[in-house]
Amino acid sequence: MYTMIQAGSMGVPFTSTLGYAGTDILERRPDDFKIIENPFDSQERTVVAKAMNPDVAIFHGLKGDRLGNVLVQKHGEELLLAQASRRVIVTVEEIVNSVDFEDSDGWFIPSIHVSAVVHASLGAHPTGVPGLYDADEDRINEYVKASGTDESFDKYLNRYVFEVGSHQQYLELVGLRPELEAVAR
Amino acid sequence: MTTGFDLTIEEQLAILMSREVNDWETSACGALSFIPATAMLLGREMRAPNAEIIILGSRDYSPFVTGKDFHFHAQRGQLDLFFISAIEIDQHGNFNLHVIGDRDEPDVLMPGQYGTGMLYYAVPRIVMFRTEHTRRSFVDQVNYVSGAGTSPNGVSRRTREVKVITPMAKLNFNQESRIMELGSVHEGFSVDQVVENTGFNLGIRGEIDKTPQITEEEVHTLRTVVKSHMIDSETYPNEAANLIREP
């Protein structure tokens, strides 16, 4: 999967990766992964992964500005995902006048890779943002439990997604904890 | 264990795994890997002062900016040893990190293999481990092949040594026959017990070695130097505090 996004970000039809041969990942996804002869060495074969270019990528960041520059958490692969995707929506904790390229709180993604920025403080909930707020374990457990059957998951989606009118309503529904309220603007 | 040290499973496995860490080599583990992280830090104290240690997600032991950097490092052949934790391991050296239960109707769908299917080809030495030695973990055929023990013809593979360490025994993957074999049995367990708790034929021929006993020095070093270093350096500090006993 990573390799597919990698190829997508490079704008090439596929890319080669070591390993994976003989796994069920290949067996289950013959349209995405193949083993081919190395065109430069007929003695060798390699796994190749088809490029993936998602129509839309949505991820959460720390800051966004009016030009569409964003700052995301460090150590993730959001830039690669943004480069691979046709449209990119970034929800952010905070809208600022100008995201600083040098801001050491996170990593800068320039607006050329971003289609839309949406202000959503606590937007990572029920997961967390390191340094700002932790994951909401009770709600994560509820999510995991709900994912057990289609029926319970539909119920979860209705309750927390489809029947909620706004992000603010969602936050009221899940009940802001004190440490979250401190962050919410 | 009957060694009288009253070891937790985590301590026992970390000590046995620490013996796989070689001096001047680069050893690594992924995120959510308290046991191998402990093993590497203990290995460095006991026998490998110049070991390069990589603990993904840690503050002090991860020189990489993203996961990609780590994976490419491995693909370039710059790792010597990698630790893999698996749900199921089979006779043919396959491991499963994807599902618990049936592959089409799983009881639990796991996050997946996060590159281990690649690392299992790219890294020369692999040490797999499991915190239980049971027939549900050591199976005839894994429910999902997340990492493949056998490579198709022509596909390059650097991996040349695979071991499995459990609370009862050490298994070695025979690189010629591509079959998992019983290597040694830990103190306090018998060959029969291992056979009884393994869901495949262990290829036993003749006398089986006993795993060298866990020493007082290993236990003491783990519970003093390594434990306090993990807490101080914030390398799995909570796990170190709770799962490594006081000296």
Domain final residue pick, A120, A146, A171: A120
CB pairs under 8 A between A and B: 74
Q: Examine the domain organization and report whether A81 and A41 are in the same domain.
A: no
Smallest CA–CA separation between B216 and chain A, in Å? 40
Q: Examine the domain organization and report whether A169 and A150 are in the same domain.
A: yes
B51-91 pLDDT tens trace: 999 999 899 999 998 888 999 999 999 999 999 999 999 99
- Residue at A159 is within a domain: yes
The answer to whether the beta carbons of residues B147 and A21 sit under 8 Å apart is: no
Q: Examine the domain organization and report whether A97 and A64 are in the same domain.
A: yes
Are the Cβ atoms of B121 and A21 closer than 8 angstroms? yes
Q: Which residues of B touch A74 (CB under 8 A)?
A: 65
pLDDT exceeds cutoff 70 at B125? yes
Residue of B56, B62, B64, B66 to mutate, testing the A interface (most A Cβ within 10 Å of its Cβ): B66
Those residues with Cβ within 8 angstroms of residue A169's Cβ, 6 or more apart along the chain or in another chain: none
- Residue at A140 is within a domain: yes
Q: Examine the domain organization and report whether A68 and A98 are in the same domain.
A: yes
Q: Examine the domain organization and report whether A31 and A60 are in the same domain.
A: no
Report how far residue B179's alpha carbon sits from residue B69's, in angstroms, rounded to the nearest whole number: 33
Report how far residue B245's alpha carbon sits from residue B1's, in angstroms, rounded to the nearest whole number: 15
Determine the residue type at B186: H
Those residues with Cβ within 8 angstroms of residue B115's Cβ, 6 or more apart along the chain or in another chain: A2, B30, B67, B70, B71, B74
Shortest CA distance to B1 belongs to which of B221, B226, B209, B193? B193
**Count of other CB atoms within 10 angstroms of residue A34:** 15
Residues A84-95, mean pLDDT to the nearest whole number: 97
- Provide the pLDDT for residue A181: 60
Those residues with Cβ within 8 angstroms of residue A94's Cβ, 6 or more apart along the chain or in another chain: A62, A63, A64, A119, A121, A185
Smallest CA–CA separation between A3 and chain B, in Å? 9
For residue A112, report the phi and psi dihedrals to the nearest 5 degrees. Answer: -60, -25
Q: Which residues of A touch B144 (CB under 8 A)?
A: 24
Of the partner residues A2, A45, A80, the one whose CB lies closest to the CB of residue B155:
A45
- Residue at A127 is within a domain: no
Of the partner residues A19, A23, A44, the one whose CB lies closest to the CB of residue B119:
A19
Q: Examine the domain organization and report whether A65 and A114 are in the same domain.
A: yes
Domain residues for A16?
2-50
User: Could you give all domains of chain B from N- to C-terminal order, each with its CATH number?
Assistant: 9-243 (3.40.1080.10)
Q: Which residues of B touch A18 (CB under 8 A)?
A: 74-75, 118, 121-122, 156
Q: Examine the domain organization and report whether A59 and A112 are in the same domain.
A: yes
A140-149 pLDDT tens trace: 999 999 998 8
pLDDT exceeds cutoff 90 at A185? no
Smallest CA–CA separation between B92 and chain A, in Å? 12
Q: Examine the domain organization and report whether A31 and A73 are in the same domain.
A: no
Smallest CA–CA separation between A135 and chain B, in Å? 16
> Is B203 near chain A, with CB under 8 Å?
no
Are the Cβ atoms of B154 and A77 closer than 8 angstroms? no
User: For residue B139, what are the CA distances in angstroms to A21, B17, B142, B143, B184?
Assistant: 21, 22, 6, 9, 19
B178-235 pLDDT tens trace: 999 999 999 999 999 999 999 999 989 899 999 999 999 999 999 999 999 999 999 9
Of the partner residues A17, A25, A43, the one whose CB lies closest to the CB of residue B154:
A43
Those residues with Cβ within 8 angstroms of residue B59's Cβ, 6 or more apart along the chain or in another chain: B233, B234, B235
Are the Cβ atoms of B155 and A17 closer than 8 angstroms? no
- Residue at A30 is within a domain: yes
- Residue at A126 is within a domain: no
| Number of domains forming the structure of chain A | 3
Of the partner residues B75, B145, B156, the one whose CB lies closest to the CB of residue A22:
B145
pLDDT exceeds cutoff 90 at A130? no
Report how far residue B212's alpha carbon sits from residue A31's, in angstroms, rounded to the nearest whole number: 49
Report the complex ipTM: 0.88
A48-83 pLDDT tens trace: 999 999 999 999 999 999 999 999 998 889 999 999
Are the Cβ atoms of B117 and A20 closer than 8 angstroms? yes
Shortest CA distance to B79 belongs to which of B16, B11, B25? B25
- Residue at A125 is within a domain: no
Residues B29-58, mean pLDDT to the nearest whole number: 96
The answer to whether the beta carbons of residues A121 and A89 sit under 8 Å apart is: no
A1-39 pLDDT tens trace: 789 999 999 999 999 999 999 999 999 999 999 999 999
Residue of A16, A23, A37 to mutate, testing the B interface (most B Cβ within 10 Å of its Cβ): A23
Average pLDDT, chain B: 94
Residues A114-121, mean pLDDT to the nearest whole number: 95
